[in-house]
Amino acid sequence: MAIIYWAVSKEYGTFFLMGWSGNRLVNGFLKVTFCAYRPWIRDPRIIPYGNSMTTATGYSFPSGHTMNAETVYGGGCLKKGLPKYLRIVLGILVALIAFSRIYLGVHTPQDILVGAGAGILVMFLTIYLMNWIKDHPEKQWLVLCIGIILAVIVALYAGLKTYPVDYDAEGNILVDGKKMMNDTFKGVGYCIAFLIGWVLECRFVKFSTDIPIVQRIARIVIGLLGYYIINLIISPLIKECISGSVGTLITSFLQVFYVTFLFPLSWKIIEKEKRDKTSAKGIDML
């Protein structure tokens, strides 16, 4: 999504990032609301494939992988500007990812169907919202405020509600409610970061993806390098200093805020300095 946003199509990248942050918030809210255990916990006859039991942690309903797939692949299917064959391929990818969650034994059909339905609904609403904002650009601040209020409500809900505490035969807790609360806080951080970064970029940066291929490649390489520095170095350091939900919220916010605003702003400044130097060199030659 970052690559699309920085170097392919700013409009499509914004669409995917907006839908993804919305899907993450909705998925986190639904998971901590229903607190549904994984299939093998609910029915011992279900045996997950390989090491799926150790990698698929937390609550089961609805499927996060399916909702994530609906963001980019499902969202791409809804974009009539894309070639028909590509939209068909993207639809097949959504179906394969959804099927894989059942095949692996980590989700039930209900998890998949609700995840797919909720994910595609969010993307439909995202299309409607972006079209509405295109006609009413002055309403961006309203969308920003409403979105942050909803994200804060979800955070308070996840942080204050009670979670079921059940144990397996060996005395281990089946699902740690605090961990699931932290996962929901990730969605909150992503959503708030996108909204703030999106509005700030539209108001003060206004970068374009209509640039030569060499500049696109440079943006991707440098942008991803910065992202991985944040994700693999800075974020772990922050979590060491600030643990719990607050640390999760800050690091999640930083990742998306970098993608939507910090890197575009930095690149804009670099491009301006290069243009200024080129202009100064041209004047000197005259």
Write the CB contacts of 169 (distance below 8 Å, at least 6 apart in sequence): none
136 catalytically annotated: no
Q: Which is nearest to 80 in space by CA: 137, 22, 12? A: 12
- Could you say which of 10, 31, 38, 65 is catalytic? 65
Contact (CB, 8 A) for 58 and 183: yes
Read off the tokens for 109: 């059909």
Alpha-carbon distance of 123 to 70, in angstroms, equals: 8
Among the options 24, 101, 107, 186, which is catalytic?
A: 107
Q: Are 18 and 198 in contact (CB under 8 A)?
A: yes
Please indicate whether residue 107 is annotated as part of the active site.
yes
CA distance 217 to 220: 5
| Helix-helix angle 10-34:177-200, to 10 degrees | 160
Written as one letter, the residue type at 62 is P
Angle between helices 177-200 and 140-160 (to 10 degrees): 170
- Catalytically active residues are 65, 107
